């Protein structure tokens, strides 16, 4: 099957994956663009899983200030080497993460960071709501699970839809960077400040 340079470029522009990876994905999916995107995501995910155990002690602290100083964000993004930390792509992703935090206001990096007490409180609220709506007992756990997933998408940075491309999550964005850089990349922590918040 013939894959044109234009098809490869279009896929590369959408996913930021390497040229050869894009060509391989298009060949593997018979030229179907959406399937090729999915193929690259899966590949990025498996690469990310393999690399997640490697130490990431280098990186950068990116900042973003929004609305003429009304909202400010600092985010620490780690990788394995100073070489990768200095690349334009790494810096761009780190800044995009800071913008994401400013815009979407997550509370945690990932679901595992949510305190157990808070998680249990959410579960019991969803359970009570489902019972109050008269839902059958046997499907309540499924309903709670579905609502928890939505809750993670609101409060966990990695589960949020990426503001610059809502077809992917922030986790996909990070995994794509892992696949492209060949290094473990992780969002370690962030702080978000909003002028006047928590003041009476």
Write the DSSP string, 135-181.
Answer: --GGGHHHHHHHHHHHHHHHHBGGGSEETTEEEEEHHHHHHHHHHHH
Does 122 score more than 90 pLDDT? Answer: yes
Residues 125 and 47 in one domain: no
Domain that holds residue 142: 115-154
pLDDT recorded at residue 112: 93
160 and 102, same domain (yes or no): yes
Give the confidence band of 37 by pLDDT, cuts at 50, 70, 90.
confident
Q: Are residues 150 and 160 in the same domain?
A: no
Q: Are 170 and 159 in contact (CB under 8 A)?
A: yes
**Number of domains the chain contains:** 3
Q: What is the pLDDT of residue 197?
A: 81
Q: In terms of domains, do 75 and 173 share one?
A: yes
pLDDT above 80: residue 51: no
Q: Is residue 74 part of a domain?
A: yes
pLDDT at residue number 43: 73
Domain end among 15, 33, 51: 51
Angstrom distance (rounded) from CA 52 to CA 184 = 6
Q: Is residue 32 part of a domain?
A: yes
Give yes or no: residues 149 and 162 share one domain.
Answer: no
- For the ranges 15-29, 118-132, 150-164, the lowest mean pLDDT is seen at 15-29
Q: Answer whether residue 200 is part of any domain.
A: no
Give the Cα-Cα-Cα angle 37, 42, 27 (nearest 5 degrees).
50
Q: Which residues pair with 115 in a beta bridge?
A: none
103 and 16 within one domain: no
Kindly state the tokens that stand for 149.
């997933």
Is 70 domain-assigned? yes
């Amino acid at each position: 099957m013939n894959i044109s340079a234009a098809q490869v470029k279009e896929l590369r522009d959408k996913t930021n994956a390497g040229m050869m990876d894009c060509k391989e994905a298009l060949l593997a999916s018979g030229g179907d663009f959406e399937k090729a995107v999915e193929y690259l995501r899966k590949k990025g995910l498996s690469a990310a899983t393999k690399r997640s155990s490697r130490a990431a002690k280098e990186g950068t602290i990116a900042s973003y200030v929004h609305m003429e100083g009304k909202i400010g964000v600092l985010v620490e993004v780690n990788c394995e080497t100073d070489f990768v930390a200095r690349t334009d792509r790494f810096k761009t992703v780190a800044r995009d993460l800071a913008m994401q935090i400013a815009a979407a206001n997550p509370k945690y990096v990932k679901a595992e960071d949510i305190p157990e007490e808070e998680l249990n409180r959410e579960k019991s609220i969803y359970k009570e709501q489902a019972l109050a709506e008269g839902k059958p007992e046997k499907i309540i756990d499924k309903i709670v699970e579905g609502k928890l997933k939505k809750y993670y998408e609101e409060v966990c940075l990695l589960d949020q839809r990426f503001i610059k491309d809502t077809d992917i999550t922030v986790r996909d964005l990070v995994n794509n960077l892992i696949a492209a850089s060949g290094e473990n990349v992780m969002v370690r922590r962030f702080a978000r400040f909003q002028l006047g918040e928590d003041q009476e």
